[in-house]
Chain A
Amino acid sequence: MMHLIKLELKKGKMGGYLWGSLITYAVILGFLLLIYLVEGPTQTEPIFQSNAEMLGLIDTLIRATFIIYASVLLAKLVIGEFQNKTMALLFAYPVSRKKLLAAKLSMVFVWTLANVIIANFLIGTIFLTVNANLGYVPDTISSELLINHGISVITNALAAAGMSLLPLTIGMRKKSVPSTIVTAVLLVMVVCSNNMGFSLGSIIAIPLSLAALGILLTLLSIRNIDRVDVA
């Protein structure tokens, strides 16, 4: 399995993935800083009431971005290989089809999970540091806040990683890249939308059950792969 993942990375060029992540972090950070620096100084209607709210927005934005990013990866690693017909090449190797697909999907899962956690850690730290100096958000950092936020980041990251597989089941039906990515965007719009502080994602059961659904449907779609014709 590790060997298969290594081969996938070789195929897609490892460096590309790392750069992709770094650039994404930079863009998210830039966007949030823009909000913070422009809206922060206005005292009448402060953009963030508390540190928890600030960190919450950071987390939401990161998850939304990486769920969509994951769908792009799925499109490339799975749907793209069907479209380029290289999947037929892979399926004619003496390697089980299930393992081949499992390697690809676990890459996407781990990649999303790791990125959501790392990005939260990096961007969160930067924000807390910046705020400690500028003080636009009038709040103190408590260890309780950090622990609570840490737990929620990790559960949400797991949920995001599971959900990130959902678009594949839709995209696989017609082996279509657009439908994979559009599904991810719709998913994000439902789960990560925020209406006056309320979000479907904040009821933790919803993202977690969507994650479970994502994993379940993916397993179901892999189950019969040995019987499928690959033209």
Chain B
Amino acid sequence: MTEIIRTRLLSKTYDKADVVTNVSMKVGRGEIYGFLGPNGAGKSTLMKMLLNLVKPTGGEIELFGERLLPGTIEPLKRIGHMIEAPVFYEKLTAEQNLELHCEYMGYHRPGAIKEALEMVQLRGIENKPVKQFSLGMRQRLGIARAICTRPELLILDEPINGLDPEGIQETRSLFRRLCDEYGMTLLISSHMLAEIEQIADTIGVLDRGRLLEEVSMESIRKSRTEYVEITTTDVKLCAVVLDDRLGIRNYKIVGNTAVRIYEMTITQEELFKGLILNDVPVTAINRRHHSLEEYFLDLTRGGGQA
């Protein structure tokens, strides 16, 4: 079994409003799956359905190869989660909150709590009641709670909300470490594309409750993102040279000043040389790539036609 999460035509309707519609997704073991979507796309609802908190109105969910039914509790032992802003027992201290969590999870390993707090860089606050915590500290504590039982699957909803830039960077490397060192599978949602771009192995794009695309980051990088842009005052000459002399076919003329090459059959040095020798007035050559942002906007604007 390589898939940890699998949903088939999963739907949720609240009072005739479709929140999630026919989502069929797959999350493989050991990967970081980035859930991307604008606010209100149904990310949180979908995650709550995976935790059995919200019951689907259609379709089905499989976790660790077993079907999730209304009373199913077994798979929850293997899942750590943080949905929306994490909630705690405010009057209890950070440590007591985590102790309670471990008790309910049936997880007993000495040192687990201390280790988790270390991992999220929360030190010296074990005995402070949670109500005194700042937003960022709560977020970190929420992550600590999710990871302290060393779950196989980690479901995190907007985990970097409220963190400072340094915190974001630390958290990002923590996620990578959890995945690489402990073999955890991570499902992370965010509306911040740049973040997802940096850590996810696979992304699923959700918009208005529909899964528009599920694709590996690698194939996005490979297939659509890179091109070399030549800025020139004579695009026609440039095109002729590319075609006839250099044997490059996959390019596109963009406006009056630029030519984009999507597939390079020669090295960049040869390209330079070829253009100069054929008197193409080149003002600049840049290697660019479509960011995930462009890709994402394409998808959500095009209504899934991309």
Contact = CB atoms under 8 A, between A and B. Distances in A.
Given A92-B52, A92-B53, A93-B76, A11 B92 contact: yes
A94 B105 contact: yes
B138 to A, nearest CB: 13
Interface in B91-113: 91-92, 96, 100, 103-106
B53 A229 contact: yes
Contact of A92 (B51, B55, B91, B106): B51
A86 B84 CA distance: 12
A94 B106 contact: yes
Contacts of A130: none
B104 A86 contact: no
A94 B74 contact: yes
Contacts, number: 62
Interface in A121-162: none
B73 interface: yes
Which of the listed residues A91, A96, A228, A229 has the most CB atoms from chain B within 10 Å of its own CB?
A229
A92 B89 contact: no
Contacts of B74: 94
Given A84-B87, A86-B87, A229-B55, A96 B71 contact: yes
B105 A88 contact: no
B153 to A, nearest CB: 12
B124 interface: no
B70 interface: yes
Contacts of B103: 3, 7
Given A7-B104, A92-B52, A226 B71 contact: yes
A230 interface: yes
Interface string B69-83: 011011111010101
Interface in A74-116: 84-86, 88-97
Contacts of B75: 94
Contacts of B48: 88, 229-231
Which of the listed residues B52, B53, B88, B105 has the most CB atoms from chain A within 10 Å of its own CB?
B53
Contacts of B76: 92-94
Contact of A90 (B92, B96, B104): B104
A230 B54 contact: yes
A10 B100 contact: yes
Interface string B26-54: 00000000000000000000001001111
A86 B89 contact: yes
A27 B76 CA distance: 46
Interface residues of A, number: 24
Which of the listed residues A11, A13, A90 has the most CB atoms from chain B within 10 Å of its own CB?
A11
A95 B104 contact: yes
Interface string A175-204: 000000000000000000000000000000
Contacts of B105: 93-94
Contacts of A89: 87
A85 B82 CA distance: 13
Contacts of B52: 91-92
A95 B87 contact: no
A227 interface: yes
A26 to B, nearest CB: 25
20 contacts: A10-B96, A13-B91, A85-B87, A86-B88, A88-B83, A88-B87, A89-B87, A91-B52, A92-B52, A92-B53, A92-B76, A92-B79, A93-B76, A94-B74, A94-B104, A94-B106, A229-B53, A229-B55, A230-B54, A231-B53
